[in-house]
Structure 1
């Protein structure tokens, strides 16, 4: 899928203790966020998780290209991986 045709990025390798608000703050600097989903949610977890995944939908498609530069940014204790979805 071409970068210009999506408004959503997938962020992986997120530390288990990261919160939705923290992700909102981190990626909010890149542009207006329409929706953000962080999985698994705390209430869904029956056993400890090793990492979490986040989907972020931006208002502007151009933010997707910029967000990819966040790849390898160390957040809490892990290097994030950001790809268009």
Structure 2
């Protein structure tokens, strides 16, 4: 990977919104620009998929964002990759890329039977390498309240033994601080329990 500051996030559900994407990626690092295509929803001509481009302030943040590749978000496993041109494309180019990638995904993987309320994300395939197993036991939570690491740890421990937790904060486009966390569980079966915490209230905030 080069020094691009732009990522491409494809295979997104057509129900994905800009706010969904903001909550997922703002805790990772400061964002200088973000565009979700198509930019306007058309109820007459529904789309099969959406695609997102994010430009971070630092190329180092791209490496962190790539850890979300193959994460299940809503009903699909998203495709996160560095966008080497380094510049967010126009809508026509973006949608061409989205359709090409969607066809590729349909040809190589089957639909994942996820419930619509499973907005928190996790990797489903835990096989092969140690890194893949680690990712399989990790969920990503966003919209966390302003609390201590210990409080976050205690909240997510109700799903199982937490092996590692990394909290992150960022500033959104409105200057508001947003918070998220990567939670790695010791056991894979804790993941399904953690997913049930989606939309639960945590210190007056609805976590995602």
TM normalised by structure 1 equals: 0.89
Mapped contact 1:14–1:80 kept (Cα < 8 A):
yes
| 2:81 alignment counterpart | 83
| 2:56 alignment counterpart | 58
Work out the number of aligned pairs and report it. 83
RMSD: 1.4
More strand by percentage = 1
1:3-82 matched pairs, under 5 angstroms: 3-43=1-41, 46-82=44-80
CA offsets, 1:19-69, max 9 Å, x none?
111101101111011111000123467511111000001111101111111
In 2, the alpha carbon distance for the partners of 1:44 and 1:31 equals 31
Structure 2 counterpart SS, 1:5:
coil
Gaps of 5+ in 2: 84-208
Per mean C-alpha deviation after superposition, the further-off stretch among 44-53 and 8-17 is 44-53
Per mean C-alpha deviation after superposition, the further-off stretch among 37-46 and 60-69 is 37-46
In 2, the alpha carbon distance for the partners of 1:59 and 1:73 equals 23
In 2, the alpha carbon distance for the partners of 1:39 and 1:31 equals 21
Gaps of 5+ in 1: none
Deviation for aligned residue 1:4: 3.9
Determine which structure has greater relative contact order: mean sequence separation of CA pairs < 8 Å that are 6+ residues apart, divided by chain length: 1
Mapped contact 1:4–1:62 kept (Cα < 8 A):
no
Moved over 3 A (4+): 43-46
